[in-house]
């Protein structure tokens, strides 16, 4: 007899992911005065991924690859095809055989070459793989040295090699496959989440109102001094735009801690945000193409963009969960079957 075993996870982590994916949609909505979201929302996803990550031995790499392919790469491929078809409907008169071949090549290449949100999943896979290899091969202190070294190299690339302006249209030679160069910096955020598991869990058992207030004040001060022009700070992981070795650690970590603390306070009180967090990948994939199609028909503002970008993917998720095929292909559901 077989029994499906569900993986245990902290509710506040799903709430944190829910808050962060909402911020992703807000950031893409072009709403004014929300550039601060880019300071931390993607580093926070890597930190949380590190917190949830269970390293594997090299002998287990085949099983890990199979799980990764099912959980991440199949939905990655499926949603890219869906998005491509939706956007093709808007520009069908410009589609040629040559353009289709080019789009396919760019999709295989991935990362900044295809734009949108697709860089994150491939970069996360590369980051997980590198981190696990380091964990298996090296002692902790040497792993930390490697993470810091990669972090510094990533900043040197950003400062001295990549374009510092108009980086949205950077030449192809700066677009690395799967955004693997972003892993240079993503590794340290991932490592912070991994090595601080016990600390984060210990905070969960303590009173959090004071800590939340203090970290919230710290975040507010940073935003205020930025508005006053005293602090000039920006961070964009997708385009490898980071310029401050110290601030690029302190600011994203401070904001991530604040999000986690808020999530802990909301735990067991906000099932909706937790559900949104569980569906963060489908929201990530669909909020842009759905809004692009609908905005070509209807004219609506940034607030409606946010609502559509969250509600429509959730409706799709509910529909996809009804069918085992769409659940596996589009939602990447992985079940662990334990024989009895």
Note the pTM of the prediction, 2 decimals: 0.92
Q: Is the pLDDT of residue 171 over 90?
A: no
The per-residue pLDDT for 4 is: 36
Q: Is the pLDDT of residue 151 over 90?
A: yes
> Rounded to whole angstroms, how far apart are CA atoms 147 and 183?
10
Q: Whole-number mean pLDDT of the chain? A: 90
Beta strands in the chain (DSSP E): 2-5, 336-339
Q: Is the dihedral of CA 54, 16, 20, 258 positive or negative?
A: negative
The per-residue pLDDT for 340 is: 38
Tokens 């946010």: give the residue: 306
325 alpha carbon, distance to own chain's centre? 25
The per-residue pLDDT for 9 is: 52
- Per-range mean pLDDT, top range of 65-69, 248-252, 266-270: 248-252
> Rounded to whole angstroms, how far apart are CA atoms 116 and 134?
30
The per-residue pLDDT for 90 is: 80
For residue range 90-124, list pLDDT tens digits in order: 877 778 888 889 999 999 999 988 888 999 999 99
Residue boundaries of the structural domains of the chain: 2-339
Question: What share of the chain has pLDDT > 90, as a percent?
Answer: 69
**Position 334 confidence tier, pLDDT thresholds 50, 70, 90:** low
Q: Give bridge partners of residue 3 from the DSSP assignment.
A: 338
Once rounded to an integer, what is the mean pLDDT over residues 143-165? 94
* Length of the chain (residues): 340
Ranges of H-type helices in 61-139: 61-68, 74-90, 97-109, 119-137
Asked if 282 contacts 72 with a C-beta cutoff of 8 angstroms, the reply is no
Lowest mean pLDDT among 133-142, 205-214, 237-246: 205-214
DSSP label of 73: I
Please give the radius of gyration of the chain, using alpha carbons only, rounded to the nearest integer. 20
Once rounded to an integer, what is the mean pLDDT over residues 301-330? 94
* For the chain, counts of helices (H) and of strands (E): 15, 2
Token pair recorded at residue 298: 């209807």
For residue range 270-315, list pLDDT tens digits in order: 789 999 999 999 999 999 999 999 999 999 999 999 999 999 999 9
The per-residue pLDDT for 201 is: 85
The per-residue pLDDT for 38 is: 93
The per-residue pLDDT for 88 is: 84
Residues 6 or more apart whose Cβ sits within 8 Å of residue 14: 273, 274, 275, 277, 278
Q: What is each CA distance from 134 to 1, 58, 145, 195, 249, in whole angstroms?
A: 38, 11, 11, 13, 21
236-238-243 Cα angle (round to 5):
35
The per-residue pLDDT for 5 is: 35
> Rounded to whole angstroms, how far apart are CA atoms 260 and 201?
11
The per-residue pLDDT for 80 is: 94
The per-residue pLDDT for 338 is: 41
The per-residue pLDDT for 339 is: 38
């Amino acid at each position: 007899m077989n029994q499906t075993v569900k993986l245990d996870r902290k509710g506040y982590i799903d709430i944190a992911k829910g808050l962060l994916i909402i911020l992703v949609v807000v950031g893409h909505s072009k709403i004014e005065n929300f550039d601060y979201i880019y300071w931390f929302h993607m580093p926070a996803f890597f930190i949380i991924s590190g917190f949830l990550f269970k390293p594997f031995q090299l002998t287990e790499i085949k099983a890990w690859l199979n799980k990764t392919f099912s959980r991440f790469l199949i939905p990655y491929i499926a949603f890219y095809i869906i998005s491509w078809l939706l956007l093709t409907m808007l520009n069908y008169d410009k589609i040629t055989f040559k353009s289709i071949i080019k789009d396919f090549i760019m999709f295989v290449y991935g990362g900044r070459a295809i734009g949108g949100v697709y860089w994150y999943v491939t970069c996360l896979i590369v980051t997980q793989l590198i981190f696990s290899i380091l964990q298996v091969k090296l002692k902790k202190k040497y792993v930390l040295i490697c993470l810091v070294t990669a972090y510094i190299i990533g900043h040197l690339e950003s400062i001295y090699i990549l374009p510092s302006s108009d980086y949205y249209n950077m030449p192809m030679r700066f677009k690395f496959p799967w955004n693997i160069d972003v892993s240079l910096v993503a590794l340290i955020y991932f490592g912070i989440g991994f090595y601080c598991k016990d600390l984060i869990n210990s905070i969960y058992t303590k009173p959090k109102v004071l800590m939340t207030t203090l970290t919230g004040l710290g975040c507010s001060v940073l935003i205020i001094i930025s508005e006053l022009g005293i602090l000039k700070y920006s961070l964009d992981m997708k385009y490898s735009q980071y310029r401050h070795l110290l601030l690029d650690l302190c600011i994203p970590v401070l904001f991530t801690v604040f999000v986690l603390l808020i999530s802990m306070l909301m735990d067991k009180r906000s099932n909706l945000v937790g559900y949104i967090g569980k569906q963060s990948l489908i929201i990530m994939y669909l909020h842009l193409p759905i809004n692009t199609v609908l905005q070509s028909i209807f004219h609506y503002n940034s607030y409606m963009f946010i609502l559509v970008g969250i509600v429509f993917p959730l409706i799709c998720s509910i529909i996809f969960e009804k069918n085992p095929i769409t659940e596996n292909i589009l939602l990447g559901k992985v079940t662990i079957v334990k024989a009895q």
